[in-house]
Amino acid sequence: MDTANIRIDASLLATHQGKLVRIIGVCESYDSSSESGVLNSNGPIKLTLQNDSLLVGKNYEIIGKVSTSNNSVNVYSVIELSDNVNMEVAKKLVSYVHKVPELFHG
């Protein structure tokens, strides 16, 4: 797996098609029968999971690849985060990663 990835949210999905990404968000829905879910990260993001499960209302960091056809994310890794994650701060982090990339991808 390519180790270079960038932190994004729903607003940046279309510009990162085919790329490995990191996303912090809150699980809005999860369907175990289809192994799919929706993560809210400054908007909804459809997830395709493999042998992972999510709990609705929990915070997660997802590492995965953005599909080139429908802006969904094929999930490679799921990390459950604390219930105390400030999503406004996570949103600002995404913004700073793209404004000052040399600080994060030097």
**What is the Cα Rg of the chain in Å?**
13
Do residues 73 and 41 touch, judged by C-beta distance below 8 A? no
Burial 57-90 (b: 16+ CB within 10 A, else e): eebbbbbbbbeeeeebbebeebeeeeeebeeeeb
Q: What is the DSSP string of 12-65?
A: GGGGGTTSEEEEEEEEEEEETTTTEEEEESSSEEEEE-SS----TT-EEEEEEE
What does the pLDDT read at residue 47?
98
Going by C-alpha positions, the residue among 32, 33, 30, 63 that lies closest to residue 44 is 30
**Per-residue pLDDT tens listing for the chain (106 residues):** 445 788 999 999 999 999 999 999 999 999 999 999 999 999 999 999 988 899 999 999 999 999 999 999 999 999 999 999 999 998 888 887 767 666 555 5
- Could you give the 3-state DSSP secondary structure of residue 79? strand
Q: Can you tell me which residue has the tokens 């909804």?
A: 44
Task: Say what the pLDDT of residue 3 is.
Answer: 54
- Please tell me the pTM assigned to this model: 0.87
Beta pairing, strands 36-40 & 44-48: antiparallel
